[in-house]
Amino acid sequence: MFFEKVRKEKSKYLTIGKIILLLLLVYAFLVSISLMGEGMKIMGKEFTEKLLASTSNAFVGLFIGILTTSIVQSSSSTTSIVVGLVGAHMLNLQQAIPIIMGANIGTSITNTLVSLGYLGSKTELNRAYSAAVVHDIFNVLSVCIFLPLQITFNLIGSSATFLADIFEKSGGLHFVSPLKIIVKPVVKLLVSLFADNVWLIEIVALVILFVALRYIVILMKSMVIEKVNYFFDKVIFRTPLIGLFFATVVTAIVQSSSVTTSLIVPLAGAGLLKLEQVFPYTLGANVGTTITAIMASLVTEDKTAVAVAFAHLVFNIYGIIIFLPLKFIPISISKGLANLAMKNRAFPIIFVLFTFIIIPLIFIKLFG
């Protein structure tokens, strides 16, 4: 009885400690966004012109998003950086949206890499790879439809701006002013410390951003994911809408679609989940991950930055509206790719290299 009481007390204090650490990490994340914006402003006009020139081509922006996110394996990091650039007026909404779309594709590299752990077994590889690559296929198909519509009609941009206008009128941008006040002193201190080296400011901002996001994910995974594993098969995948909703909520909490989508690859590989159950869950993870960009945009108090965050959300919702009813398209393609992987186990490796690294590098080199 005594030891049980001690164990409960220890668990309670550990949870409190994790919550405090989480709040500090979120604070550090918001500081990094503001610091990055300040550094960009100091860099001035010449850097701005170079940056704008490199992203003036929507397709180059798309492949920059794919490559960057594939390297850091976090769309949250890429979208947060883009929001910071927009908040500092280094990018406009039209330039930011293709990068956000590319980040959506790039983040799916993680669960695809997880599926490579099943190369030793053809049957398990078939199941795991199809469950992983369906994320890639959904994102690629969504880009194929909505990037041309964005370029021609500004569909995503208009929708995102509309939502940002509503948000601003409801007082959403002013609501975070106290947060801005809390962040500002630390940002000012860091800027004054590195005032003579603007690149050092940006490096420090990026290091803080990556470290904060990394440990937010680890911390939230330890607090949330382990507790929901038990419910996966019994509750979560009972219907497509429950799977979608659950993945949205958990990914919003964990702030990493890579974590939540990678988590189900072993379940699929073991034959516990069907691809038809995995697909809506993947869609929910795509929506949930947009919370990070929304958080980043609020600290900028810039309406265009908020619109970029909403663009990430709108893009994923539009994709769901199209492909949830037409789920047989991405599912069929994924099964076809999984069959190729089963026949030639070099195929998944080649797919990763070309989709996430080689093709983006070639396109950026030729047209950037």
Which stretches does DSSP call E strand in 58-216? Answer: none
pLDDT score of 213: 73
pTM for the full model?
A: 0.84
Indicate the range of 147-156, 298-307, 336-345 predicted with least confidence.
298-307
Domain coordinates in residue numbering, the chain? 2-367
| Between residues 112 and 255, the one the model is more confident about | 112
User: Can you tell me the mean pLDDT for 7-13?
Assistant: 72
Number of helices (H) and strands (E) in the chain: give both, helices first. Answer: 21, 0
Q: For residue 302, report the phi and psi dihedrals to the nearest 5 degrees.
A: -115, 125
- Would you say residue 216 has pLDDT above 90? no
- R_g of the chain, CA atoms, integer Å: 21
pLDDT score of 234: 63
Q: What is the DSSP string of 267-325?
A: HHHTTSS-HHHHHHHHHHHHHHTTHHHHHHHHHHT-HHHHHHHHHHHHHHHHHHHHHTT
pLDDT score of 293: 86
pLDDT of 117-161, one tens digit each?
A: 888 889 999 999 999 999 999 999 999 999 999 999 999 999 999
Distance CA 129, CA 138 (A): 14
For residue 27, give every residue at least 6 positions away whose Cβ sits within 8 Å of its Cβ, in sequence order, or none: 182, 183
User: Whose CA is closest to 301, among 163, 176, 167, 165?
Assistant: 176
Please state, in angstroms and as integers, the Cα–Cα distance from residue 121 to each residue in 111, 289, 313, 342, following that order.
17, 32, 37, 9
pLDDT score of 310: 95
- Would you say residue 45 has pLDDT above 80? no
pLDDT score of 251: 87
User: Can you tell me the mean pLDDT for 237-256?
Assistant: 85
pLDDT score of 253: 81
Distance CA 14, CA 305 (A): 36
pLDDT of 252-300, one tens digit each?
A: 887 778 878 887 888 888 887 899 999 999 999 999 999 888 888 877 7
Residue type, 216: I
